[in-house]
Every structure is written in structure tokens, then in C-alpha cells.
Structure 1
């Protein structure tokens, strides 16, 4: 497909869509995973004997809270060593925190490779950043899926008669999927580190002959058509002289009256 040099420059300077996709999903997934890590609602225990029916217990990986359906304030000073001694709690704590750190490192690696101030992206650097983001998403899915699989069998001091999935599980799944998708899409760009030619792009120096940012573009030359007619040699502040204006008209003009001299009254006599 034939394109003009201006179109090739525009295509060469745009940020690839796969990098934009990854850089948008990764921070969104990080925020969701952060909420899932610190919020104490991985599962909810309802209908507990000995407490009012409006009260329920929320259990997370860091703390346990008691809340009511009538009051938004919750008491998070509950202690349950039996719950925290489960084999899923310690790995979940470590993997969730490690995922948050790895995501930040992946973004810090990927951002310099994105084409924000360059004529083309650094696919190798951006791909390595996407790999780190992908691994951080896997680190979230592992504890979330494990906790969900043994949701009803997790030991606790409180009777687990009516167990429901907490909102942290939902946020963790969504955040982990966001990071896996964003990191994978950025990582497949590592196979396209040949200047973008297989995506229909051409380097700017191959189109214009000069490197972008190192040389100024030549001034555009404007061709002015020449006029084959005599020009007035009398200097004037207007672009056209009186003679040239007379030549341009296409209809007859009335002749100017002759200037009378001082002896014009003799002719009248």
C-alpha cells in the first residue's frame, strides 16, 4: 500500500496499541489487588450462634472484623489463631504483597520502553516489563483460587455454618486477570522488535532521509506562478500599478476628460 511520507511519519510516531492496552490494565489491576490485600473480607460468616442475626464476621488474610447490617462501623479487634494457622493464610499474605511489588517493578521497566519521547518503542524493554506484570497477575490468581477452593473447610473459632464469598475474592480475580492480560499483550510485542516493519511501519529516517530530532526539516517551497505582462517600474505601495490594472479589465472604460489649460475659453468663443 502506497502512503505519503507524512502518513508514514504519523504511523511511526504513534504509540502501539498493545503497549497502551497493557499500561492501562496493569495499574487498574494493581489497585484492585491492593484493595483485595488489605480489606478484611475474603469470606463472610453469617448465622453464627450466640450473636444477633444482624451481625456477621468478615475474615481476611490480615485481620478479622465483626460488622452489622444496621451499623456501618465494624470492630476489627477480633483474634482467631485457629484461622490464621491455616496453611493457605501465610502463602496468601506473601504472594499478594509480592504481586504488588512486582507489578510496580514491571511498570517501572515497561514505561521507558514505551514510545512517548522516541521515534519508535524499545520492544525488548517493554516486553520484559510485560513479563513481570504477567507474573504478578499469576501470583494473585494462585492464592485467590486456593482460598476459594477450600472456602468452606477453612478452620475457624467461629462456627462456619453459613459461609459466603467476600468481595476481596471478586476484586482479586478481576485484578489478577487484568494484569495477566495486560502483561501478556505487552510481552508478545517482544517478537516485534524489528523496527515495526511487520506491523506496516517504516522508520522516519527511511522516509525523510534524516533522523527525527537531529535535523530540522527543510522549509517548504511555494511555487508562485509568473505573469507574462509588462510591469510598471514606478514603485508603489500597492501590489499592482495603474497600468496593470487597466490591462486586466475585460470591458471598455470611459476615457478620462482632457485637462483644460488656461486658454480653454478661446475655443468656446
Structure 2
């Protein structure tokens, strides 16, 4: 007989956990990458000649700001042609913007496939969105890692150079997108016995119900016991009645086999 393709069934109507994981991490990573892109703090230059000691420069990929720790006033739009002419700056600008756009496209693609109000999600569409989110994470990690590797070699007016917070945010955001996109892409193929999709084979489900015996039915038998009232008609023995009497009784005598009536002296 020809073998039929295995049929699978979802055991839960809830959104698969891999989609929830990806749809939470991807927006978080996008926000972190957006901050890393626009904030001017990829590196910090301290102890600059001809400037006060508490003055330092914050350099990003779009702008440079001069800040003083005593006044906390930022003077942005600083000119530094030698810094912006470096190849890494132009590459970082293009890749970071492309990563932000690609993340939005990936989320827009994955959303119709993740819809939880349907019987079965569209695994292909959601997996494609996860792949785009994964690629956006790659586009973020490349310039961040490259800049971190050569940030001390880029032309600067001082040797006291430190990594800025944008590098840390970029790493975290890129990793979020890599993990979220990869986990969502796993749903495009069925693996781990269908557990990644929350599915099980119809044949296994049928066999389970066949082998499962229903529990014995419990029959409630009504109780016929009744409480004895004070006006019960159950006869008592003579001795027990005499013992329980709380007034004196006359002695009984029998005349000719007949039982005379009791005379009670009240």
C-alpha cells in the first residue's frame, strides 16, 4: 500500500513559544540599536590638549559633542574631518541604518504569520520574518565589532580613549535580534518531534486515546438510614421501660393467668 504523508495536529491554540520569544526580543533589540545609531558616544576622548581637564569629547558616527563634567553642557556639531573620513564611519552609518530598516521589515513580515487567532500559524511567513530579523542583527554586529577592534587606531587628539556606551548597546541589541530571529526561523521546519511547533502526530494522538481506559464510574448509593425520633414505634422491652421510669410502680400479681392492671399510688 502506498505510504501516506504524516499528518500533524497542534495540541494548543496558544501562540507558539518560539514566536513569542522572537517577537519580544526583536523590538527590544531595535530600540537599543536605534539608540546606538543616533547617540554620539561610540568612543570618549579625555585629557585633550589646550582644553580644561574636565572637558572630554564624545564621538559617534553622525556627530561629535564636547562636554564638561563641571557644567554638564553639551556642545555638539563639532568639526573633525580626520575622524569622519575614516572608512569605518561611512560603513557603520550605512549598516546601522540598513539594520534598523530590515528589522522593521522583518517584524512586518512575521506579524501575519504569528497571528494567534488562527488554528495554525503560517510557519513559512513567520520563518521568513525571523530570517530578516536575524540578518538585521548581523548588520548591527559587523560595524560594532569592527569599530571596537580599531577604535584606538582612529585619528584622535589624545591618547586617553575609552569605549562609549553605544558600543555596549549595539552589542546587546544585535544579540537580541540574532537570537530572536534565529528562534523564529527554526519554526520554518519541523524538528524535535514537532515540539518546536507544539504539534504531534495524529497517529500518536489516536493511539494514546485508544490505550487510555476511562476511569471506573462511581455510583452514588443513597443512604436509607433514619434517625430515631422520640416518638418511635419500635417496641421496648419491659425491663428497659421499668429501668427508665422515673416514678414508683406497684407490684404486679397475677390472678388466674390474667394480668391485672397496675395501681399507681399518686
TM-score normalised over the length of structure 2: 0.70
Counterpart for residue 32 of structure 2 = 32
Seen in structure 2, the aligned counterparts of structure 1 residues 94 and 199 have a Cα distance that, compared at 3 Å, is closer
Q: How does 1:1-269 map to 2 (within 5 A)?
A: 11-156=11-156, 159-192=157-190, 196=194, 201-202=199-200, 251=228
Contact 1:114 1:121 in 2 (8 A): yes
Query: Following TM superposition, where does structure 1 have runs of at least 4 consecutive aligned residues deviating by more than 4 angstroms?
Result: 195-200, 247-255
Q: Distance in 1 between matches of 2:99 and 2:197?
A: 32
SS in 1 for 2:56: strand
**Change beyond 3 A, Cα 1:117–1:200:** closer
For 1:191 and 1:128, how far apart are their aligned partners in 2? 11
User: Highest Rg: 1 or 2?
Assistant: 2
How many residues are paired up? 212
1:14 CA drift (Å): 1.6
Which moves more between the two structures, 195-204 or 75-84?
195-204
Q: How many angstroms does 1:107 deviate by? A: 0.6
- In the aligned structure 2, how far is the partner of 1:10 from the partner of 1:96? 39
Contact 1:12–1:119 (Cα < 8 Å) also in 2:
no
Distance 2:97 2:132 in 1: 14
Find the residue that maps to 1:192 and give its secondary structure.
Answer: coil
Distance 1:250 1:140 in 2: 84
Q: Distance between the aligned counterparts of 1:137 and 1:254, measured in 2?
A: 90
Q: Is this contact kept in 1: 2:49–2:158, CA < 8 A? A: no
SS at match of 1:71: coil
CA contact (8 A) 2:25 2:176 kept: yes
Give 1:31 shift. Answer: 0.5
| TM-score, normalisation: structure 1 | 0.70
In structure 2, the residue corresponding to 1:190 is in which secondary structure?
Answer: coil
Query: Is there any run of 5+ residues in structure 2 with no aligned partner, and where?
Result: 1-8, 206-218, 233-266
Q: Structure 1: where are the runs of 5+ without partners? A: 1-8, 208-224, 229-246, 256-269
Q: RMSD over aligned Cα, in angstroms?
A: 3.1
Paired with 2:231 and 2:139, the residues of 1 have a C-alpha distance of: 95
Which residue does the alignment assign to 1:264?
Answer: none
